[in-house]
Amino acid sequence: MAKKNQSSSGLAGTLKRWFLRFWKGGANALADEMEASKDDMSVEDIVSPMQQVVRNFLDRKLAVGALIVLIAMFLTMFIGPMFMPKYYDAYTEVTQKSIAPTMSMMKVPKELAKDVKMIDGYGSFSVGLSNAGKVYVWGSTQIGTTGVDVGDIPEDVQNANIVMVAAGIDHIIAIDDKGIVHAWGNNRLGQYTTLAEVEAKGEDINPNIAYMPEELVTTGIDVNNIKKLTCGYQCTAILMNDGTFYLWGNKLAYANIDLFLNAGTMYDLDFTLNYIVGINGKRNSIYTGSRGLYDVVRTEVGGSTYKIKDYLDDRKIESITAANNSMCLLLDDGSVCFAGDYAGNLTPAPVLSADEDFVQIVAGSYHYSGLTNKGNIYSWGSNTLNQTEVPKKYDGATKLYNGAFQTYAVNEEDDVVAKWGLKGYLFGTDTAGADIFQRIINGGKMTMTIGAVAVIISSVIGIIIGCISGYFGGKVDILLMRIAEIFNAIPFIPFAMILSAIMGRMTLSEDMRIFIIMCILGVLTWPGLARLVRGQVLVARESEYVTAAKALGVKEYTIAFKHILPNVMSVILVNLVLNFGTCMLTESSLSYLGFGVTYPRPTWGNMLNGANNATIINAYWWQWVFTAAFLAITCICINIVGDNLRDAMDPKANSSR
């Protein structure tokens, strides 16, 4: 109070007082002053017990901090999913498995951004080439547990003048000005092995590998005659202007390699995820080696289909651009059509006006971007990773390049003017290729919901039984406490596991299963609280206010639930908080062991499921560090809040302060 008087006595204080009086009238201020001077004389404020608890709690800095973190966690988990409309549980992406946390997937190196010759990407990284012949690699360059880093560009590539690059899922191919083909990255599945190398090492010839032609690395090819260099999953093709092509790589990834190697010449070719697709000399059908695979086309990504021959009429296919499961054909009249499989929820392809034609189409894994003769850029296809969100500004773009989930627009001066698509993954991806950050948020919602519902169930049962048992005593008490003991004798986790395993054998929907898990958790944890409430009620029952209520003729149930219950509320509240933590932990343990919520539904427990051997724990550290941290922080905060709440409510603790 003294402080307040000081500040009001200065000039500023007087001015402030005048100002306040002017606006609010003098009466309030005067009343406040009188109140304040009265306070000075009184010894201490009288506060209600609840206020005292809140004050005690707020005095503890650690507890307040923990509470804030906890509330923030709650809000993130329950509001966060609303900002992720594209998220769904079963999302998998084979080309994005186990990617380390990175946000650099679209970060074109500064030197390159002003001098782009070409950019390519297929998996988690992109490779770029400057006009000066220098190669740049960005994105997530570590390849799984192989220890291969495609970011380590070999010395001979750095010294050579490269004219063309392309990236596969785990390897990079570059051609220098002498026509020599360089390659680096993972080579375990024949991505760039020549037969001579195999013989030199004395290894057996692998029938599942189409070996790289010898002349590419020794004599080189005619650089000026190369029409296209393109990489697939673990496969590479170089197409020459005369239609001949070189093709090598993993036959298990592309079963139709042999058919292509025997097919002679091609006008154009590209890789989907499973097939090599080509346009032969007639330019009127899609060649895959097997009949009828892609013999229908559509004008729209989700539209109805036409037979390719009828649709083309007399038009010719100018180029083929393949995404993972589909392809886009650019016809010689500048229109496009589509073949292959399309998922739902796609951004539709644009409808161009009569005088606007596509001049270039590029394809990522699931999206296409097209540049028209009017300089407009359109993106369509899947938008799950923001691939089709074309920025408004891309003035003067004359050329498009693509990564797996990115598109780069480059202008006349070879500057990158716009880029859009996947920036990266804040917490990396899991073994299915899903964004761990999104799964943590959505999994947290699930974990917390299960914990909360279980606690509510257990508390309701515990409070009712505890109150009845404590208040009525006698036979009711004995019976209820015996029941509680039976429940207490059930070993918790094994029993929950058994129930959950048995449920797995029955045909139940996932939601039903989760609900039952909540119930199991709730029903098995009530005895502790029931006993606690019973003990408290036993004490309260003998107190004077209950005797008074009885004397007034208040009904027994009213006494039990309206007079006694509020007085044991503090114990219940503390227990609620601590039980919530326990239930979350139990659910996590169950899910971790595979007996709770199961994949694809995420919870913090089952997201850690994969981290069960030393190799994965070390190599894919991001797959458990973040999830475990979220789980740990939440549980620690819950326990700190609960403990401090108990201390704050304990009158003994108050007096000692």
Partner 1 sequence: MAKYVVKRIAYMLVVLVILSVIMFMIYSLVPSNRAYTDASNEIKSLKNVLPKDKIDEKFDELYLMYQRRYGTDTDSKIIRYLRWVGVYPLYDGSYNGLLQGNFGYSYEYQKPVLEVIKNPMINTIKLNIWATILGLGITIPLGIVCAVKRGGKLDQTMSIVTILGYSLPTFVISILFIWIFCSKLNIFPPSGMKTPGSNYTGFRQFLDEMYYMALPLLVMTFSSLGGMTRYVRASMTDALSMDCIRTARAKGLREKTVIYSHAFRNALIPIVSLVVGWFLGIFGGSLVVESMFAWNGMGRLMITSLRTADYEVVLLMQMFYVAMSLVGNLVIDIVYGIVDPRVRVDN
Residues in touch with partner 1 (CB under 8 A): 482, 485-486, 488-491, 493-495, 497-499, 501-502, 505-506, 581, 585, 588-589, 592-595, 605, 608, 611-614, 617-618, 621, 624, 628, 631-632, 635-636, 638-640, 643
DSSP 233: S
Tokens of residue 151, six digits:
């970011």
In the complex with partner 1, the residue whose CB is nearer, 64 or 252, is 64
Minimum Å distance from CB 8 to partner 1? 40
> Mapping DSSP to helix (H, G, I), strand (E, B) and coil, where does residue 104 land?
coil
Q: Is 234 exposed, middle or buried (0-12, 13-18, 19+ CB in 10 A)?
A: buried
Q: Please tell me the distance from the alpha carbon of residue 90 to that of residue 256, in angstroms, as a whole number.
A: 30
In the complex with partner 1, the residue whose CB is nearer, 145 or 219, is 145
Q: Please tell me the distance from the alpha carbon of residue 649 to that of residue 638, in angstroms, as a whole number.
A: 16
Beta carbons of 107 and 119 less than 8 angstroms apart: no
In the complex with partner 1, the residue whose CB is nearer, 315 or 646, is 646
Minimum Å distance from CB 627 to partner 1? 9
In the complex with partner 1, the residue whose CB is nearer, 77 or 608, is 608
Minimum Å distance from CB 653 to partner 1? 12
Mapping DSSP onto H, E and C, the string for 263-313 reads: CCCCCEEEECCCCEEEECCCCCCEECCCCCCCCEEECCCCCCEEEHHHHHC
In the complex with partner 1, the residue whose CB is nearer, 468 or 631, is 631
Minimum Å distance from CB 129 to partner 1? 37
Beta carbons of 611 and 598 less than 8 angstroms apart: no
In the complex with partner 1, the residue whose CB is nearer, 517 or 631, is 631
Angstrom CA distances, 372 to 315, 327, 355, 360, 508, stand at 19, 18, 10, 7, 52
Minimum Å distance from CB 564 to partner 1? 26
In the complex with partner 1, the residue whose CB is nearer, 149 or 643, is 643
Minimum Å distance from CB 646 to partner 1? 12
In the complex with partner 1, the residue whose CB is nearer, 160 or 480, is 480
Minimum Å distance from CB 449 to partner 1? 18
List the end-to-end C-alpha distance of the chain, in Å, as a whole number: 22
* Residue 547 CB coordination number (10 Å): 11
Mapping DSSP onto H, E and C, the string for 397-432 reads: EEEEEECCCEEEEEECCCCEEEEEECCCECCCECCC
For residue 545, what are the contacts with CB-CB under 8 A and spacing of at least 6?
Answer: 563
Minimum Å distance from CB 549 to partner 1? 30
For residue 256, what are the contacts with CB-CB under 8 A and spacing of at least 6?
Answer: 275, 276, 288, 289, 290
Minimum Å distance from CB 517 to partner 1? 15
In the complex with partner 1, the residue whose CB is nearer, 248 or 592, is 592
Q: Please tell me the distance from the alpha carbon of residue 289 to that of residue 259, in angstroms, as a whole number.
A: 6
